[in-house]
Chain A
Amino acid sequence: MSDLAHLRRDFPLLGRAVHGKPLVYLDSAASSQKPVQVIDAVAEFYATSYANVHRGAYTLSDEATTAYEGARAKAAAMVGAASPTEIVFTSGTTAAINTVAYGWGLDHLRAGDRIVLTVMEHHSNIVPWQLVAGRTGAELAYLRVGADHQVDLTDLEEVIDERTRIVAVSAMSNVTGTMPPVTQLAAAAHAVGAVVVVDAAQAVPHLPVDVATLGADFLAWSGHKMLGPTGIGCLWGRADRLEEMSPLQGGGEMISDVGLYESRWAPVPHKFEAGTPPIAQAVGLGAAIDYLDKVGMDAVRRHETAITGYALDRLATIPDLTVHGPTDLAVRGGAVSFTLGDIHAHDIATILDEENGVAIRAGHHCAKPLMRHLGLTSAARASFYVYTTEDEIDQLVAGLHTARRIFGLS
Chain B
Amino acid sequence: MPIDDLYRDVILDHYRNPRRRGRLNHDAIHADGQNPSCGDEFGVDVVVGGGIITDIATQGQGCSISQASGSMMADAVVGLTIDEVRDLASSFKRMMSIVEGDNPVDPERPGAVLGDLEALQGVRQFPVRIRCADLAWVALEDAIDQWETAAAVGA
How near does chain A come to B59, taking the closest CB pair, in angstroms?
Answer: 13
Would B129 and A350 count as touching, CB distance under 8 A?
yes
Interface residues on A, range: 10 to 19
Q: Does A363 contact B (CB under 8 A)?
A: yes
Give Cα A87–Cα B22 distance, bound, in whole angstroms. 54
CB-CB under 8 A for A378 and B6, given A344-B63, A346-B132: no
- Interface size on B, as a range, is 20 to 34
Query: Which of these, B12, B126, B128, contacts A407 with CB under 8 Å?
Result: B12
Tell me if B27 counts as interface (CB < 8 A to partner A).
Answer: no
**Total inter-chain residue pairs, C-beta < 8 Å:** 51
- List, in ascending order, chain B residues with CB within 8 A of A362's CB: 38
Partner of B39, one of A343, A350, A351, A378: A378
Which single member of A346, A364, A406 contacts B63 (CB below 8 Å)? A346
Identify which of A345, A346, A351, A354 gathers the most chain B CB atoms within 10 Å of its CB. Answer: A346
Counting chain B CB atoms within 10 Å of each CB, the highest count among A345, A350, A363 belongs to A350
Contact mask B1-17 → A, CB, 8 Å, 1/0?
11110110000100010
Apart from A342-B16, A378-B62, A378-B63, what 20 extra A-B contacts exist at CB < 8 Å?
A344-B62, A344-B63, A346-B38, A346-B129, A347-B64, A347-B65, A350-B6, A350-B128, A350-B129, A354-B2, A354-B3, A354-B126, A364-B39, A377-B39, A377-B61, A377-B62, A378-B38, A378-B39, A406-B3, A407-B7
Q: List 17 A-B contacts (CB under 8 A).
A: A344-B64, A346-B38, A346-B65, A347-B63, A347-B64, A350-B126, A350-B129, A354-B3, A354-B6, A354-B126, A363-B37, A378-B38, A378-B62, A402-B3, A407-B7, A407-B64, A408-B12
Question: Which A residues are within 8 Å of any B CB, using their own CB?
Answer: 342-347, 350-351, 354-355, 362-364, 377-378, 402, 406-408
Q: Which 9 A-B pairs have the closest CB atoms?
A: A346-B63, A344-B63, A364-B39, A354-B3, A363-B38, A406-B7, A347-B64, A347-B63, A377-B39
